[in-house]
Amino acid sequence: MRQRFPEQFRVEKFVTDVLSDSSLSAGFQEYDGPVIEPLALFAAKSGGELVGRQSYSFTDRGKREVILRPEMTPSLARMVASCGELQLPVRWFSMPLCYRYERPQRGRVREFLQFNLDILGSNSLASELEVILVLNGIMKTFKAPSSIYRIGWSSRRFMTDALSRCGVKEELQSSVFSAIDKRDKMKEDEWADYLLQACGSDTEVAEKVAFLVLVESLSDSWLVSLMAESSAFREVQKFDQLLKKTGISSAEFSPGVVRGLDYYTGIVFELMDTGSGNRRSLCGGGRYDNLVGLFGTGRISGVGFGLGVLTLTLFLESYGLIPESVKQAALADVYIAVASPSVVADAGLLAEFLRSRGVRVMMDVSGKKLGKQFSEASRNRISRVITVGENEVQKGIYRMKNLSDGKAAEGSAEELIRVLR
Site for a copy of itself in 24-83 (CB under 8 A): 24-27, 29-37, 53, 56, 58-61, 68, 79, 83
140 binds a copy of itself (CB under 8 A): yes
CA distance 292 to 342: 65
Give the one residue of 215, 232, 326, 349 binding a copy of itself; rule: CB under 8 A.
349
Please report, in angstroms and rounded to a whole number, the separation of the first and last CA atoms in the chain: 42
CB 79 within 8 A of CB 31: yes
* Options 351, 386, 388, 416; binder of a copy of itself; rule CB under 8 A: 351
**111 belongs to the binding site for a copy of itself (CB under 8 A):** yes
Choose one: 86-94, 180-188, 209-217, 268-276; the region binding a copy of itself (CB under 8 A). Answer: 86-94
Query: Is 264:305 a contact under the CB 8 Å cutoff?
Result: no
Told to check if 382 binds a copy of itself by CB under 8 A, we report yes
Nearest to 223 by CA among 231, 211, 235: 211
Partners of 210 in the β-ladder: none
Task: State the nearest-atom distance from the C-beta of 34 to a copy of itself, in Å.
Answer: 4
Report helix, strand or coil for 401: strand
Contacts with a copy of itself by CB under 8 A: the residue count is 87
* Region 249-308 residues binding a copy of itself, contact defined as CB under 8 A: none
- 117 lines the binding site for a copy of itself (CB under 8 A): no
How near is the Cβ of 175 to a copy of itself at its closest, in Å?
27
Q: Is 166 exposed, middle or buried (0-12, 13-18, 19+ CB in 10 A)?
A: buried
Q: Which is nearer to a copy of itself, 179 or 389 (CB)?
A: 389
Choices 2-10, 194-202, 211-219, 256-264; region in contact with a copy of itself by CB under 8 A: 2-10
Judged by CB under 8 A, the chain residues 354 through 373 that form the site for a copy of itself are 355-356, 358-367
- Single out the residue of 39, 47, 108, 133 in contact with a copy of itself (rule: CB under 8 A): 133
Task: Quickly count: other Cβ atoms within 10 Å of residue 222's Cβ.
Answer: 11
19, 117, 119, 162: which one binds a copy of itself (CB under 8 A):
119
344 binds a copy of itself, rule: CB under 8 A: yes
Q: Is 56 helix (H, G, I), strand (E, B) or coil?
A: coil
By CB under 8 A, tell whether 89 contacts a copy of itself. Answer: yes
Instruction: Characterize 258-278 residue by residue with b for buried, 16 or more Cβ atoms within 10 angstroms of its Cβ, and e for exposed.
Output: bbebbbbbbbbbbbbbeeeeb
The helix/strand/coil state of 398 is: strand
